[in-house]
């Protein structure tokens, strides 16, 4: 899924009366997730997007389990570390994390 960034902050749009997902972000920028499900995400560092070195990501209003850290090829499904911020690593690297959709709201993956 390609992440399309907002040009106006989501909270500002909500305070201005936007109530639908189409009113909050550009087309393709909103992904509605089913409630109470475990979602696994792999974020890849692409050339040109990580100027200045490894870049942190965080998921608003949620913590997540890092099942594979950047720079590692090992997945930990048994006892993954729980975080609210993770580094995506260097260009060409990636990180994999899981979270549960048990906190409804317009929460954003932020970089």
Domains of the chain (ranges, CATH numbers):
1-32 (no CATH), 34-110 (2.60.40.420)
Contact 25, 6 (CB under 8 A): yes
Count how many Cα atoms sit within 13 Å of the Cα of residue 26 in the half-sphere of its side chain: 7
Task: Return the pLDDT at 109.
Answer: 65
**3-class state of residue 32 by DSSP:** coil
Question: Distance between terminal CA atoms of the chain?
Answer: 15
The DSSP 8-state label assigned to residue 104 in this structure reads: -
Query: Which positions of the chain have pLDDT values less than 50?
Result: 50
Task: Return the pLDDT at 46.
Answer: 73
Task: Return the pLDDT at 99.
Answer: 92
pLDDT in tens, 4-30: 666 777 778 888 887 776 677 666 666
Task: Return the pLDDT at 48.
Answer: 54
Report pTM: 0.72
Q: What are phi and psi of 81, to 5 degrees?
A: -70, 145
């Amino acid at each position: 899924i390609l992440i399309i960034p907002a040009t106006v902050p989501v909270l500002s749009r909500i305070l201005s009366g936007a109530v639908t997902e189409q009113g909050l972000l550009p087309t393709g920028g909103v992904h509605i997730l089913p409630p109470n499900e475990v979602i696994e995400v792999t974020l890849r560092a692409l050339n040109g997007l990580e100027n200045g070195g490894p870049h942190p990501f965080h998921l608003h209003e949620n913590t997540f389990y890092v099942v594979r850290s950047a720079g590692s090829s090992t997945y930990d499904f048994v006892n993954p570390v729980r975080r609210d911020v993770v580094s995506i690593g260097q260009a060409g690297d990636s990180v994999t994390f899981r979270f549960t959709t048990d906190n409804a709201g317009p929460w954003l993956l932020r970089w």
